[in-house]
Amino acid sequence: MIVVSNTTPIIKLAGIGSLDILKSLFGNIYIPSAVFFEITNYQQPGSQEVKTYDWIIHNNIKNTDMYHLILAELDAGESAAITLASEMNADLLLIDEKNGRIVADQLDLKKTGTVGILQIAKKKNLIPSVKPLLDDLISKTGFWIHKDLYNQILIDSNEKS
C-alpha cells in the first residue's frame, strides 16, 4: 500500500505519542521534502522520528508544474504531499486541512485525516478506543474539532450512543 502524508497527521500523532499507529496500519509512509522541512525545521513533534525512522521515506516531487499550480491555493507541504500522492498513484493521502482535502478530491485522491487514522486503527483492533486519543489530540496538541463532529466520531466508533 502506498501512503503519502502531509505534515499535520504526523505532528499530531507524534504529539500524543501515537506515531507508531501509522507504521502498524500502513507500513511505510512517504513524505515529500517540503513536509520533512516543515516538521524538522520548526522542531515539530515527530521531528526526530522523520529523521530516523526507516519507514518514513522522503521523496522528492518531480511534477513541479503541478506543485506550483496547487501552491497557488495551498501551502508548500500540502501542495507537495498532494503532488507526490498523485505522482506515486498513492492508495491513500493523509491530510487534515479542509482546502487540501478539496484539492485532493478534485484529483480523485483517496484521503483520510488524523481522526480517520484513529478510526481505522480501532476497526483493526490496534487501539481499544478512539476517545482517549481524540481527547489527547485536543488537549495536548491543540487539535480543533467541532463538538458535533466529535460526538459523531464517538457514535461511529461505537463509543457513544
Residue 25 sits in a domain whose CATH number is 3.40.50.1010
Q: Structurally, how many domains does the chain consist of?
A: 1
Q: How confident is the model at residue 42 (pLDDT cuts 50, 70, 90)?
A: confident
| Backbone torsions φ then ψ of 112, nearest 5 degrees | -150, 165
| CA–CA distance, 26 with 28 (Å, rounded to integer) | 6
So what's the pLDDT on residue 161?
A: 61
How far apart, in whole angstroms, are the C-alpha atoms of residue 46 and residue 21? 13
The pLDDT tens digits for 75-126 are 999 999 999 999 999 999 999 999 999 999 999 999 999 999 999 999 999 9
- Structural domain of residue 146, as residue ranges? 1-161
**pTM of the predicted protein model:** 0.96
